[in-house]
Amino acid sequence: MHSAVAALVAAFILTGPGSRPEATPSFQVIVASGNPATTIKRQELAQFFLKKKSRWSDGREVVPVDQTARSTVRGAFTRSVLAAEGMEHLSEVESFWLQQVYSGRGTPPPIKASDKDVVAFVEANPGAIGYVSAAAASGSVKVLTVTE
């Protein structure tokens, strides 16, 4: 277990603190094409990514996937979505996950290096949910509408 914790800490250190982009880029929330959802509330989306809620309405397990801390789309996602859970900055999210890992209560979502990697992950995992740059979603995944 210690090596798993060390690997997670190393991953946080290697991805580094997020930089605040000058302009907030838009993003799209994506799921596998077979997922019955078409919309998602911002609060529920935040709970999925913080693993405070783990099941879709049909009972299937939710598998969130993040992008690297250096990704501008992750910064936009954090400010727009995770702020619903009181986390407006990447450093707050990283602190949350370090506390979860050290206390044995959970592990953060897997981190992918690019929009393309997130799309591939979502395609391969029926319960997955991710976010990509506005122009990155392909016909092989479904874009959800985020509501208040």
Please calculate the CA angle 31-32-34 and round it to the nearest 5 degrees: 125
Tens of pLDDT, residues 73-128? 999 999 999 998 999 899 999 999 999 999 999 999 999 999 999 999 999 999 99
Band (134; pLDDT cuts 50, 70, 90):
confident
Tens of pLDDT, residues 41-61? 999 999 999 999 999 988 999
Sheet bearing 39-41, strands edge to edge: 39-41, 141-147, 27-32, 128-133, 63-64
76 SS3 class: helix
Cβ neighbours, 10 Å, residue 137? 21
Average pLDDT, rounded, for the chain: 85
* Pair 32, 43: CB distance under 8 Å: no
Domain limits of the chain?
A: 2-16+25-147
Residue 136 DSSP symbol: T
Residue 143 CB partners (closer than 8 Å, separation 6+): 28, 29, 30, 137
From CA 44, how far away is CA 147, in angstroms rounded? 10
Please state whether the predicted TM-score (pTM) of the whole model is above 0.85. no
CATH topology of domain 2-16+25-147: D-Maltodextrin-Binding Protein; domain 2 (3.40.190)
From CA 75, how far away is CA 65, in angstroms rounded? 14
Average pLDDT over residues 63-70: 95
**Alpha carbons within 13 A on the beta-carbon side of 53:** 15
From CA 131, how far away is CA 37, in angstroms rounded? 15
